[in-house]
Amino acid sequence: MFERWLSREARLSSARECLWEFRTGMIPAAVYVVVGYGAIFVMSIVLHEVAHGYVAFRCGDPTAKMLGRLTLNPIRHIDPFMTILLPLMCVLSGLPMFGGAKAVPVNPYLFRHRVAGERLVSIAGVLVNLCIAWVLGALLHLVLYLDVASPAHVVILGMGILTNLLLFVFNMLPIPPLDGSRFVRTFFPEPLRALFDRMDPFGIMILFLVIIVFRAELRTVLLGGIDLLWRYFLRLDAETFNRVLSGFGEAVGWH
């Protein structure tokens, strides 16, 4: 019994020391940045998918709800490639973390008003990402104004903003299977909509082909969109942008 009590006390003492080291800055800021940013990244892609499912449910399609996808539990939304492998590849190659969650199943034939439902569901996820970016931007403005932000806080909030802006701009591209293509197709005549539907099973292949062939053009579009939203929607300046990227680069070991 004494050994068990001693073991428990030792564990508690170790946990208290670890917490004290973290609070007093003895644990490297890089750990704080990676964990904080990783949490924002995971919740951003989870909320993106939950938004699709919730709006579909409100429009009359209970598929996502019946399959247990209207939950904030990240495990229910994990996709082996988009959620694990792709973000890991981005970090190891020195790129900002990017990826996605498992797509929420939607049956548009159950919508009370099919076209309106498809439009609302298709843009629900990206609008959530835009809202997250706005909230994080407001927090960043606040901590900078009050001068209470450590470099790590600036990096975490800033990278969270950039990730959600990237999710918004990238997903709004009218390329199957991205949300932008699903939104645009609702304005097409039926023959073109049928063509988009036939392309959907090959969406990932089409997307990777576009990324490979039009890499420079895609980079210009993404960076241009993020820059406009950063400056004019969030009212953040270039100096803050540079602080965020340089701080994140130091945290993950970019040179």
Structure confidence by residue, pLDDT tens digits, 30-60 = 788 888 988 998 899 999 999 999 999 999 9
Question: Do the Cβ atoms of 183 and 119 come closer than 8 Å?
Answer: yes
| Res. 135: pLDDT tops 90 | yes
Q: Where are the domains of the chain?
A: 2-252
Question: Do the Cβ atoms of 38 and 31 come closer than 8 Å?
Answer: no
Q: Check residues 239 and 27 and name the one with the higher pLDDT.
A: 239
| Res. 238: pLDDT tops 50 | yes
Mean pLDDT of all residues in 90-112: 76
Question: Do the Cβ atoms of 56 and 64 come closer than 8 Å?
Answer: yes
pLDDT above 70 coverage of the chain, percent: 81
Residues serving a catalytic function are 49
Q: Check residues 112 and 149 and name the one with the higher pLDDT.
A: 112
Count the neighbouring beta carbons within 10 Å of the beta carbon of residue 173: 18
pLDDT of residue 5: 34
CA distances from 51 to 69, 232, 234 (A): 10, 25, 22
| Res. 158: pLDDT tops 80 | yes
pLDDT band for 27, please (50, 70, 90 cuts). low
| Res. 239: pLDDT tops 70 | yes
pLDDT band for 19, please (50, 70, 90 cuts). very low
pLDDT above 90 coverage of the chain, percent: 43
pLDDT of residue 161: 95
pLDDT of residue 167: 92
Mean pLDDT of all residues in 88-109: 73
| Res. 22: pLDDT tops 60 | no
Q: What is the DSSP letter of 70?
A: S
Q: If we measure between CA atoms, which residue out of 17, 41, 42 comes closest to residue 27?
A: 17
pLDDT of residue 96: 53
- Given the structure tokens 């001693």, which residue do they identify? 6
| Res. 92: pLDDT tops 80 | no
User: pTM of the entire structure?
Assistant: 0.83
Q: What is the residue-averaged pLDDT of the chain?
A: 82
Mean pLDDT of all residues in 171-180: 90
pLDDT band for 4, please (50, 70, 90 cuts). very low
pLDDT band for 93, please (50, 70, 90 cuts). low
Question: Do the Cβ atoms of 210 and 175 come closer than 8 Å?
Answer: yes
For residues 55 and 47, give the distance between their C-alpha atoms in angstroms, rounded to a whole number.
Answer: 12
Q: Check residues 252 and 176 and name the one with the higher pLDDT.
A: 176
